Amino acid sequence: MTKYRVGILGATGMVGQRFIQLLEHHPQFEITAVAASDRSQGKTYGNACTWRLNGEMPKRVRSLPVQPPTPPLDCDLVFSSLPGDIARQTEGDFANAGYPVISNSSAFRMDEDVPLLIPEVNHQHLDLLTRQRQRYTAGGFIVTNPNCSTIMLALALAPLHATFGITSVVATTMQALSGAGYPGVASLDIIDNVLPHIGGEEEKIETETTKILGRFVNNQIEPAAMSVSAQCHRVNVADGHMAAVRVNFTRKPDLNELREALSSFRSLPQELGLHSAPDQPIVVRDEVDRPQPKLDRDAGAGMTITVGRLREDTVMDYRFVVLSHNTIRGAAGAAILNAELLIALQYFKTG
Ligand SMILES: NC(=O)c1ccc[n+]([C@@H]2O[C@H](COP(=O)([O-])OP(=O)(O)OC[C@H]3O[C@@H](n4cnc5c(N)ncnc54)[C@H](OP(=O)(O)O)[C@@H]3O)[C@@H](O)[C@H]2O)c1
């Protein structure tokens, strides 16, 4: 099979490196272009990038020149992991120039005609792409993945909302350091400490969750009618975001029904056998001390989220803890799964 040629915008960053790692042996994609800031442009990727993931930097990318993130690039689609403030202009330029843009950044997530996609949860929202044909007449489009904490929350809530109806959610996150990119938070600020503020994060979780769980009606997304309250904290963990969650339901299920709805959840990516789709999107653990970032972030090669501490609550109906790998299911892996779904549903013309 001919592989799709991909460009990575922000290729030298935390998420960009994860893209490079996850795409190394991918059966459908090959990396043909990398782009980053003017600090890196003009160098080879091997010289520009200090590799910060386990294992070696893949050989194939080392000699690629780092280019500016402007079209044209020698590729069929781009994955973007650019900072939010420059992503709006840059991703728009690529879509205008006819490229499919599969983005991690927050710039377009809440636009009315942009799918905020979790393939297991809201693949119907891809119908929004017909609306983007008016915006991007050269055939380009933008699909985004949610914020790294929103993804695990919305994925855990999806089967519960579909089965029992959710009326309100309270989520308190404990977010890993890699979520702030590199170099991220200064070591003296986080050693022996917890930071109770991550800029923009609470608002993202509160707005993105209802869009993702919303219904596609009359060519637009009708947000889910639930209230979502989030408090976010940066903690001294390298990888793996965690959230303590409390939920109220329209119809309160019993504990077994709740557990079964989570652990039996499968969806289109599993039916289609997409390369990055985990066999089980949600694992429920019954041990009293799970999930833990160190032990559970790599479940399903980083694409499975883990739910534990599932209990009746004393104030709301139920509570649980959810955990996922923030740069895999929460970022690069999520975007790659989005692209695999777009291929399976024939949204890309070339390859
Ligand atoms: N980290 C996570 O867990 C996570 C999860 C979900 C979403 N995201 C989102 O993904 C994006 C990237 O995050 P990250 O953690 O990978 O950040 P990062 O480690 O700071 O990397 C940023 C990347 O963007 C490039 N860049 C910075 N300024 C630029 C400019 N003016 N022009 C062109 N390129 C520029 C950097 O290139 P140089 O190396 O040349 O500076 C680097 O490749 C952000 O929008 C973030 O919100 C991150």
AA letter at 86:
I
Residue with tokens 């959810």: 322
Q: How far is CA 285 from CA 31, 140, 262, in A?
A: 37, 42, 11
pLDDT mean over 39-55: 97
Measure 86 CA to ligand 1 centroid, in angstroms.
Answer: 10
Specify the residue with its C-alpha closest to ligand 1, atom 20: 181
**pLDDT at position 241 over 80:** yes
pLDDT over 70, % of the chain: 99
**How confident is the model over 265-269, as a mean pLDDT?**
98
Active-site annotation holder among 26, 125, 241, 325: 241
Q: pLDDT tens, 270-327?
A: 999 999 999 999 999 999 999 999 999 999 999 999 999 999 999 999 999 999 999 9
The DSSP result for 112-179, as a single string, is TTS-B--HHHHGGGGGGHHHHHHH-TTS-EEEE---HHHHHHHHHHHHHHHHH-EEEEEEEEEE-GGG
C-beta separation of 232 from 150 below 8 A: no
Indicate the SS3 state at residue 191: coil
Q: What is the pLDDT of residue 27?
A: 97
For the question of residue 49 being annotated catalytic, the response is no
Q: Is 161 a residue of the active site?
A: no
Over residues 155-202, the pLDDT tens digits come to 999 999 999 999 999 999 999 999 999 999 999 999 999 999 999 999
pLDDT band per the 50, 70, 90 thresholds, residue 348? confident
Ligand 1 site residues (CB inside 6 A) read 10-16, 36-37, 39-40, 69, 81-84, 86, 104-105, 148, 178-179, 181-182, 326-327, 330-331
Residue nearest to atom 1 of ligand 1 (CA): 179
Residue 351 confidence (pLDDT) above 60: no
Across the range 46-75, mean pLDDT stands at 97
Give the Cα-Cα-Cα angle 108, 173, 196 (nearest 5 degrees).
Answer: 95
Is residue 239 very low, low, confident or very high in pLDDT (cuts 50, 70, 90)? very high
Average pLDDT, the chain: 97
What span, in angstroms and rounded, lies between the C-alpha atoms of 82 and 102?
A: 11
pLDDT of residue 215: 97
- The yes-or-no verdict on residue 349 having pLDDT over 80 is no
CA distance 135 to 96: 8
Among candidate residues 148, 161, 232, 325, the one labeled active-site is: 148
What pLDDT score was predicted for residue 237? 98
Band (2; pLDDT cuts 50, 70, 90): confident
Nearest alpha-carbon partner for 232 in 222, 242, 223? 242
pTM (global) more than 0.85? yes
**pLDDT value of position 350:** 58
Encoded tokens for 104: 């991690």
Mutate to test the pocket of ligand 1, among 18, 66, 81 (most ligand atoms within 8 A of CB): 81
Q: pLDDT confidence of 93, banded at 50, 70, 90?
A: very high
Summarize pLDDT for 211-222 with one digit per residue, the tens.
999 999 999 999
pLDDT tens, position by position, 116-137:
999 999 999 999 999 999 999 9
Query: Is the pLDDT assigned to residue 250 strictly greater than 70?
Result: yes
C-alpha span between 170 and 54 (Å, rounded)? 35
Looking at residue 203, its pLDDT comes to: 98
